[in-house]
Structures are given as C-alpha cells and as structure tokens.
Chains A and B, each alone.
Chain A
Amino acid sequence: MQSKCETDVRRLADCAVIEIRGEVDGSAAAVLSAAYDGAVADGSPTCVLLDFARVDYINSTGIALIVSVLARARAEGRQVIASGLSDHYRQIFVITRLSDFIQLYDDVESAAAGVGAAG
C-alpha cells in the first residue's frame, strides 16, 4: 500500500521538528523512519518534536510506529514531544499512555516555548 504520509524536517533550537502530513498508518513506516534519521543525523538534537497538525488519520499501526520512534529516541537519550493533535487523537494518546512519555502541546510554538522553559 502506498503511503499517504509526508514529512518535513527542520530544526528549532535543540529540537528537531518532524512535521507530519497525511495519514499515519503502517504504510508510513519507511517515511517516518527516514524522517527520524534525517532529524537526528548530526547527532545533536536533545528533543524530537512530532507535529501532527496536518495529520488527518492515525490508526493502530500508526500508533505502533510512534511507539517505535519513542523507543528509539529514548534509547538515544532524546526527549519526544508532540504538537497539533486533534482532541480525538489526544484522547488516544492518553488511553494508550503515550502521553505519559510524550508531552503534548497545542502547536509548535507552544512546544518550543515549553521545551525552552524546561531547559
């Protein structure tokens, strides 16, 4: 199945921002993995921000991909935060307990401010 997920990666202070667009499902595995590789390529980001503001669909296999990203980041000593989730997907992050490990923000700006405040 062809992925309907696209990403852009940019840097915001110590945070690598992965802006995700489209659908986060199992077919997005290669796209998300490549985005993460690119985001941490220089080894320096202490934080990875997943921005879901332009994501319109996440399913259980997409949740599994997010778990994999989180596991990899934690193994590398990086914090993962997220922004732009709809109320519904925030609810799913809560019931899966992803929100126990991924701080949720309304948007990229508030996430950046939150990380800056924490740092």
Chain B
Amino acid sequence: MAYDERVLVSFSVPSEPGNERLALARVADAVSGCGLSSDQVDRLKTAVAEATMNAIEHGNHNQPDVDVDVTVAALDDGVAVSIVDRGGAHAPAPDAGVELPDLDMKLAGLQTPRGWGLFLIQNMVDAMDVSIDGDLHTVRLVMRSQPTPRPRDPEGGPRAEQV
C-alpha cells in the first residue's frame, strides 16, 4: 500500500438511481477536517457521485437489493474514497480506449450527449484506480490535501493519474 490509511467511515447504499446523493453527502461529511479546500471537496463530491452512479447503473444494474459499498480513508496527504460494486469487469479500464466525450461531435449528432461520467471523475480528482477481484469492481479516488491546480480544459488540464 502506497499510503498509510485510516478508515474514516464505511457505508453502503442500495443500488437505486439517485442514491449517489446519499453517498456524496456522507463522504463530504467524513472528509471535513481532512485539510481539503472547499473546491477540493466539491470536486471530490462530483467524482464520488459519478463513480457511485456508474456502480449503481452499470455495476449493480439498478438492483436495490445489491449494495454499493463506500469506504472513506484518511491518507498522510489527503483522502481516498473506494466505491465497490458487484459488476466485476463491467467497466473498461480507464486507459482502454474509451471514447472521450467531444462536445463538437455531440453537437453535430456524431456522439451521444451522454458519456461524461468517467471524464468528469478523471478531471475532478488527483488519482483514480480501478481494480477487479472476482465480481467486485472497485474504483478508488484520491484527493491530496495540498492545493492542486484546477483543470483548465480537456486538452491541457491535469487529469487524474491512473495507478
């Protein structure tokens, strides 16, 4: 493990659309006092919401009796949030050639208007790691407590490193 981690909270939400709001609220509460700026907390909340939405929809197929498990941990230099669904390898690896959202193409009708979730996650946090263990699919998000520059644009802005 690259970091000394201390679990702040673990919880589960049923896989029902909209429950990402429950997850982001609990994560925001858990990381208060961890040294993140309000901007970083907002970015982490958006990343957690998007990752939880993916877990609910694509991992657990909106089955309310299947939970999404969320763990928030304090690191030496920030926080890590792990979001676990039962979708196994449902999601392609972040570097597996997923089509990047292109607004020009979307406006021209050449891409669906959707498809922003992974893009937002990668632009909101400092690192994102995807792992699969059997049917468990885990997305781990890291936000470091030292100030990080804001992303400026899809071409030149910093993106989450993929561990």
* Residues of chain A having any CB pair with chain B under 8 Å: 1, 23, 25-27, 57, 59-61, 63-65, 67-68, 70-71, 74, 86-88, 91-92, 94-98, 100-101
Contact = CB atoms under 8 A, between A and B. Distances in A.
Contact of B21 (A57, A61, A64, A67): A57
A63 B107 contact: no
A63 B121 CA distance: 14
Interface stretch (B90-98, B108-116, B127-135): B108-116
A114 B112 CA distance: 31
Interface residues of B, number: 32
Given A60-B120, A63-B116, A91 B103 contact: no
Interface of B: 16-18, 20-21, 39, 42-43, 46, 49-50, 53, 101, 103, 106-107, 109, 112-117, 119-120, 123, 150-154, 157
Given A27-B18, A88-B43, A88-B46, A64 B107 contact: no
Nearest to B120: A60
Contacts of B107: 67, 70-71, 74, 101
